[in-house]
Amino acid sequence: MFASSFSAGPRFIALRAVLILFLPVASLGWSNATSASHQSGKSDNKPQAKDTLPEKGLTAEGKAMVRNAVPAVGLVMAKTGDERKLVYRGSAVVVRSDGIVVTNHHVIYDNEAQKIYEGIYLRLRGEKENAATTALYRLEVALLDRPRDLALLRVVEADGKKSAGMKLNLASVELGDEKKLELLDDLVVIGFPEKGGASATLSVGVVEGVDLKGGWIKTDARLLHGNSGGAAVNNEGRLIGIATKVVSDETESNVTLGLIGYLRSVNLVRQMVGKLQETERDREKGPSLAQTVPNTTRRAPLPAVQAVTVRGVVKDARTGAPIAGARVGLLVAGGDLNVANIVTWGGTNAEGKFELEKPVLPGKYNLRARVIGDFSYAPYVGEVEIKRDTPVIIELNLARKQ
């Protein structure tokens, strides 16, 4: 993560006029004044010209809707195996009340260890941001889109209790429509900048530009160190973007001329949520083990003693670093890649470990693996033999595309 303020040094190239600060967003320790165009109220002494832009500002109703979105934005913390205390990382937004959360990939990624943090936690403050209502949730990776610096996470533990079987009903933010955005539309960034203390911090701004093709929304709203992964909402309290990075325009002597905040558009978030829902539906309606074994054995029940559980780990072939968010599946030997031929599958956690959901009969299977949302890794295709009464530990090394 970047320091909270800029200073001259080797990481800045003096001859560059524009310095792009990649994540975490806004390691900026300063605050730039909000444009006067954000302020509400009119001056009785200033006549309105025909070509004068209308004054901007949230209405009382709009402010109320934005306040309703605040409880859905939380503080992200992480810990490694060597640390007992949680380390502050950034912000995240609940986009599904059953515990699906979106943030930036860089918020949950340990650059030093070159892997996803082993323990990822979300602290939600509640509607009144009262310490007494604070809840702590442990998260695991549900879907990654590393090229676009986004990650979907799932709540797996609430205040130390496993969430499996629990009916979560978290405050969530409704997804907006970026196609309806217009220049100078009001927006509010909600997050937990490191210098903002334990409560959420809100910053008002406007839409300065929309890049539908690139998946970016530009804003003059103040983005600070720790806003990464936070929500940008419109005047209806709906999510329109995720705070991601800041671009600084600087002179040769490192004097800052201006800043542009960049938000990852809600359309990318909607696509990821859609992919996750498809995966969940396939999982629910997936074929049973009895339906996927060869025809000659389908009529006979599967003896419990012959069922073999398959576990393993997925790593980067070059660095050996574990890969989170990978999907690993066994298919009927010689079968095509379709639902009917899938015997069982599973996904990797932050340590790159997986356990396939169903035990399988001994025999040969096609083995497939790929990283969801990260297209820099080539899919793995191979064959594996599962032996009777022998614990199966598979180590897969995924290579990056050339």
225: CATH: 2.40.10.120
Distance CA 368, CA 30 (A): 49
Distance CA 166, CA 157 (A): 9
Tokens 């001859």 correspond to what residue? 15
Could you tell me if 93 and 194 lie in one domain?
A: yes
For the entire predicted model, the pTM comes to: 0.58
In one letter, which amino acid is 49? A
Domain that holds residue 325: 288-398
Residue 40 in any domain: the answer is no
pLDDT of amino acid 250? 65
Which of 225, 255, 285 terminates a domain? The answer is 285
| Residue 325 Ramachandran class (φ > 0 left, ψ -120 to 50 alpha, else beta) | left
| Residue 269 Ramachandran class (φ > 0 left, ψ -120 to 50 alpha, else beta) | alpha
Residue 392 in any domain: the answer is yes
Could you tell me if 173 and 262 lie in one domain?
A: yes
- With beta carbons less than 8 A apart as the criterion, state whether 339 and 388 touch: no
Could you tell me if 26 and 155 lie in one domain?
A: yes
Which of the residue ranges 22-36, 222-236, 247-261, 262-276 would you say has the lowest mean pLDDT?
Answer: 22-36
Give the torsion sign (CA, 301, 303, 309, 310): negative
Could you tell me if 244 and 305 lie in one domain?
A: no
Which of 238, 259, 285 terminates a domain? The answer is 285
Could you tell me if 217 and 251 lie in one domain?
A: yes
Distance CA 104, CA 170 (A): 20
Per-residue pLDDT tens for 80-108?
766 678 888 999 999 999 999 999 999 99
Could you tell me if 357 and 279 lie in one domain?
A: no
Distance CA 69, CA 226 (A): 18
Could you tell me if 222 and 274 lie in one domain?
A: yes
Token pair in block for residue 42: 């009119």
Return contacts of 133-140, CB within 8 angstroms, 24+ apart: 135/159, 136/160, 137/74, 137/99, 137/163, 139/101, 140/349, 140/350
Could you tell me if 318 and 331 lie in one domain?
A: yes
Q: Where are the alpha helices (DSSP H) in 247-343?
A: 266-285, 289-292
Could you tell me if 297 and 252 lie in one domain?
A: no
Residue 294 in any domain: the answer is yes
Which of 266, 285, 304 terminates a domain? The answer is 285
Residue 305 in any domain: the answer is yes
Residue 41 in any domain: the answer is no
- Start-to-end Cα distance in the chain: 28
Please tell me which of 90-94, 163-167, 244-248 the model is most confident about, judged by mean pLDDT.
Answer: 90-94
- With beta carbons less than 8 A apart as the criterion, state whether 217 and 183 touch: no
Could you tell me if 117 and 212 lie in one domain?
A: yes
Residue 312 in any domain: the answer is yes
**CB atoms < 10 A from the CB of 114, how many?**
12
Residue 381 in any domain: the answer is yes
Per-residue pLDDT tens for 129-147?
444 457 889 999 999 898 8
From the number of C-beta atoms within 10 Å of its C-beta (0-12, 13-18, 19+), residue 275 rates as middle
Could you tell me if 122 and 230 lie in one domain?
A: yes
Average pLDDT, the chain: 76
pLDDT of amino acid 234? 94
Could you tell me if 261 and 241 lie in one domain?
A: yes
Confidence of residue 164 (pLDDT cuts 50, 70, 90): low
- CATH code, domain with 332: 2.60.40.1120
Token pair in block for residue 57: 């500002």
Domain count, the chain: 2
pLDDT at 120 over 90: yes
Residue 47 in any domain: the answer is no
Distance CA 321, CA 74 (A): 28
